[in-house]
Chain A
Amino acid sequence: MSDKHMEKYIAKSSAIASRLLGGEMMIMSAADSTFFTLNPVATVIWQAADGRTPLSEIVAARVCAEFDVDPETAQRDVELFVDQLSRHGILQVSDSPFPDSVSPTEAA
C-alpha cells in the first residue's frame, strides 16, 4: 500500500463554534455544548484543517516547522489528537479531500 492510500484529510465540523483567544482556540460543540480549549500546537492543526491539505503535510509544514518536535513524534501525537476530536464530532476525517463547502470560514 502506498503512502497516498494512507493519507488523511481533516475538516472542521459545521456544528461547532470556535474562536482564538490569547493564542488558544476555544471550541464548543453545538451537539452537546462540550467546551474545549486547544493549546498552541493543537490550534495550528485546527487552523490548517481545511479539508484539502493532507494531514502529513500539516504535520511537516506546520507542526514540525513551527515547533521543536521530530516528525515521528509529531505524526503520532497529531493522529491521536485528530482521533480525539473526531470522536467528539468536532473534526471530520476522511481518506480523500472534502468538498470545498465543508470547512467553515473563521476569523482570527
Chain B
Amino acid sequence: MQEMGQRALDLGVPMSVHFDITYRCNERCVHCYLDHDDHGEMTTAEIKRVLDELADAGTFFLTFSGGEVLMRRDFFELLEYARRLMFNVRIKTNAVMIGPDEARRMLELGVDQVQVSIYSQRPEVHDAITKLPGSLRRSIEAIRFLTRQGLRVTIANVLMTANMRDHGGVQALADELGVQYTLDPTITPKMDGDTSILDLRIPGAELKSVFRNESLVGNVEAFCAPPPLPDEDVMDGYPCSAGHTLAYISPYGDVFPCVQFPLPSGNVRRQKFLDIWNHSPELNEVRSIRAGDLPVCSTCSHVGTCTRCPGLAYMEGNMRGPSTADCEKSFERTGIRSANMLRRELPLPSAPLIQIRPLSA
C-alpha cells in the first residue's frame, strides 16, 4: 500500500478524496467547525458528474462525510453510483439514522469501512456534546446493526474538555462491540475562521497522559522518545499528503487540499476536477513546500517527527508557519520544547523545571 502511495505521489494522482456531500446534520456537536445551513449543495447529478471526474483522475479511496451523510435523501443513490465506479468507499457518520435496512444496503454495496463518532460511554456526556438526546443509544444500536452485517466499523473518539477522561470507557465500549477505536485530540477552528471552539481543546497535562497510555500509543518509550536529528531526506520531505495525493471537496463544490486545510483552490461547478488538481496555483503552491522551506519548523528538533498540520498552520495565518497545536503535541509527547515555543516563549503548563535530554538526540 505504501508503494502505491509513493507511486500516486510520483504520478501526481489524487488517490484519496474526502467528499463532504452535505454540511447539514442532525446533531449539533459543541466542537463542530461547520455551518449546518444549506447554502446550495450540489445536486445528485452534479455529484455524480464529480464522481465520474474523480474516477477518471485515478481516485481510489473515497470518503463520504459531512455533516451527516444520511441527511441527503439521495445518499444511497450516490453510494451505489460511487461503487459502480469501483471506488473504495468509506463513510463517516454519527450513525443515528442507520437501521437494519441501511446497514444491509451498505454491505450489499461493498462499503469498506464505516466510521462512527462516539464521544463518551456515558449518555449524559455524549448527548451533551451532540446536543441530541438519545444519540449515544442510537449510535451504539446502529454499530450493532453494522457489525451484524459483517461491516468493518471504527469508533472515532474526538477528545475535548467535556470528555477528556472518558477515552478509556469508549475504548472498552469499542472492545465490547468488536470494532476498531481511534482517538483524535484535535479541535480545529471553524471554517469561517472563528477560533472560539479552540477553548475546548484538552489541556497539556491530559494530552501528556494520552501519549503515555500504552493501549493508545503502543510502545510508550518509543512513541515519546526524543526526536532523532533530521537528515536531508526529512528536509526534502513533504509535510503531509494534503494536495499531493489527497483532496477535499465541499458540498458546494469547493476544492481544498484537505478537510482541515480550507485554502480555496477551485470549484468543480465551474471547472473540471482534474483541471483544478493539475493547474490550481494554490495546490501547486502547497506542493512546492518542503520541510526545509518552513522558516520556523525547519529549525526545530521535532521537524522529522512532528504531526505538523499545514492546514492548521494556514488557519493560524501562514501555511509555512508552525501549527501551535502540533507544537504542543510534540512537547507533551517528548518533553522537549519546539522551536516555535522557544521563539514565542509560550507558557509551559506542565514542564518540569529541569529537563534531561539524552545526548544521542
Q: Which of A16-24, A61-69, A73-81, A91-99 contacts B (4 or more CB under 8 A)?
A: A16-24
**CB-defined contacts of B111 to chain A, threshold 8 Å:** 30
**Contact indicator B86/A106 (Cβ below 8 Å):** yes
A15: interface (CB < 8 Å): yes
A21-B52 contact in complex given A28-B112, A30-B110, C-beta closer than 8 Å: no
Nearest-Cβ distance from residue B152 to partner chain A, whole angstroms: 7
B52 x A107 contact (CB < 8 A): yes
Closest B residue to A37 using CB positions: B4
Q: How far is the CA of A33 from the CA of B152 in the complex (A)?
A: 10
In the assembly, what is the distance between CA of A108 and CA of B11, in Å?
A: 15
Q: Which of B83, B88, B152 contacts A28 (CB 8 A)?
A: B88
Which residue of chain A has the shortest Cβ distance to B15 in the bound complex?
A: A21
Q: Does B276 contact A (CB under 8 A)?
A: no
Decide: A21 and B13 in contact? CB cutoff 8 A.
yes
Stretch in contact with the other chain, from B55-63, B163-171, B229-237:
B55-63
A17 to B, closest residue via Cβ: B88
User: Are A17's CB and B152's CB within 8 A?
Assistant: no
A102: min CB distance to chain B, Å: 12
Knowing A17-B110, A35-B1, the reply to whether A108 touches B84 (Cβ < 8 A) is no
Contact with A along B105-117 (1 / 0, CB 8 A): 0000011110000
Complex alpha-carbon distance, A26 and B111, angstroms: 17
Q: Give the interface size bracket for B toward A.
A: 20 to 34
Do A17 and B56 form a contact, CB below 8 Å, given A30-B111, A33-B112?
A: no
Whether B85 is near chain A, meaning CB under 8 Å from some CB there, is: yes
User: Once the chains bind, are B11 and A22 in contact (CB under 8 Å)?
Assistant: yes
A20–B58 alpha-carbon span in the complex (Å): 7
Given A16-B86, A17-B89, A35-B1, A108 and B56 contact (CB-CB distance below 8 Å): yes
B32 within 8 A of A: no
In angstroms, how far is the closest chain B Cβ from the Cβ of A94?
A: 20
Q: Does chain A have a CB within 8 A of B8?
A: yes
| B122 located at the interface, meaning its Cβ lies under 8 Å from any Cβ of chain A in the complex | no
Across the interface, do A14 and B110 meet the contact criterion of CB distance under 8 Å?
yes
| Contact in complex: A19, B112 (CB < 8 Å) | no
A22 touches B1 (CB 8 A): no
* Contact call A21/B7, Cβ cutoff below 8 A: yes
For A30, list chain B residues within 8 Å (CB): 88, 110-112
- Minimum CB–CB distance from B247 to chain A (whole Å) comes to 15
**Residues in B neighbouring A105, C-beta threshold 8 A:** 84-86
> In the complex, are the beta carbons of B56 and A19 less than 8 A apart?
no
Q: Which of B55, B87, B88, B152 has the most CB of A within 10 A?
A: B88
Rounded to whole angstroms, the CA-CA distance of A33 and B180 in the bound complex is 14
Q: Would you call B4 and A26 a contact (CB within 8 A)?
A: yes
In the complex, A71 has a CB within 8 A of chain B: no
The reply to whether A106 and B85 form a contact with Cβ atoms under 8 Å apart is yes
Of the residues A15, A21, A28, A108, contact of B55 by C-beta under 8 Å: A108
Knowing A16-B110, A17-B88, A28-B88, say if A104 contacts B11 (CB, 8 Å): no
A1-53, CB < 8 A from B: 14-22, 26, 28, 30, 33, 35, 37
For B86-97 the 0/1 string (1 means CB < 8 A from A) is: 111100000000
13 contacts between A and B (CB under 8 A): A15-B110, A17-B86, A17-B87, A19-B60, A19-B87, A21-B60, A30-B110, A33-B152, A105-B85, A107-B55, A107-B56, A107-B85, A107-B86
Partner-A contacts on B (CB < 8 A): 1, 3-4, 7-8, 10-11, 13, 15, 52, 55-56, 58-60, 83-89, 110-113, 152
| Known pairs A18-B86, A22-B7 / 11 extra A-B pairs, C-beta < 8 Å | A14-B110, A17-B87, A22-B10, A30-B111, A30-B112, A33-B113, A35-B1, A104-B83, A104-B86, A105-B86, A107-B86
